[in-house]
């Protein structure tokens, strides 16, 4: 493949977009999540496959829970 061809930049862009999409999908696993029953914030720990609670509570969730007893 010639370095001055039109296909090379397109192939490189496709490869870079695939790598970026893979990184975004893997990074979402460390995003904090809110427990719907206790409103406590936790992270899914991929090392042992469980939840790691951070000891913090989401104020919006607590407000919503207090409105709907």
Task: Please report which confidence band the pLDDT of residue 16 belongs to, taking 50, 70 and 90 as the band edges.
Answer: very high
Q: Please compute the mean of the pLDDT values over residues 27-33 and round it to a whole number.
A: 69
Q: Is pLDDT larger for residue 33 or for residue 3?
A: 33
Q: Please compute the mean of the pLDDT values over residues 11-35 and round it to a whole number.
A: 84
Measured between alpha carbons, how far is 64 from 36 in angstroms, rounded to an integer? Answer: 11
Is 20:29 a contact under the CB 8 Å cutoff? Answer: no
pTM equals 0.49
Of 5, 3, 25, 7, whose CA–CA distance to 15 is shortest? 7
Measured between alpha carbons, how far is 7 from 17 in angstroms, rounded to an integer? Answer: 16
User: Would you state the structure tokens that stand for residue 36, as one six-digit string?
Assistant: 């719907």
Measured between alpha carbons, how far is 67 from 1 in angstroms, rounded to an integer? Answer: 65
Task: Please report which confidence band the pLDDT of residue 15 belongs to, taking 50, 70 and 90 as the band edges.
Answer: very high
């Amino acid at each position: 493949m010639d370095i001055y061809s039109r296909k090379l930049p397109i192939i490189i862009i496709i490869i870079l977009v695939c790598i970026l999409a893979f990184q975004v999908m893997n990074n979402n696993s460390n995003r904090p999540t809110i427990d719907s029953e206790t409103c406590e914030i936790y992270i899914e720990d991929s090392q042992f496959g469980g939840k790691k609670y951070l000891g913090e509570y989401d104020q919006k969730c607590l407000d919503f829970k207090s409105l709907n007893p």
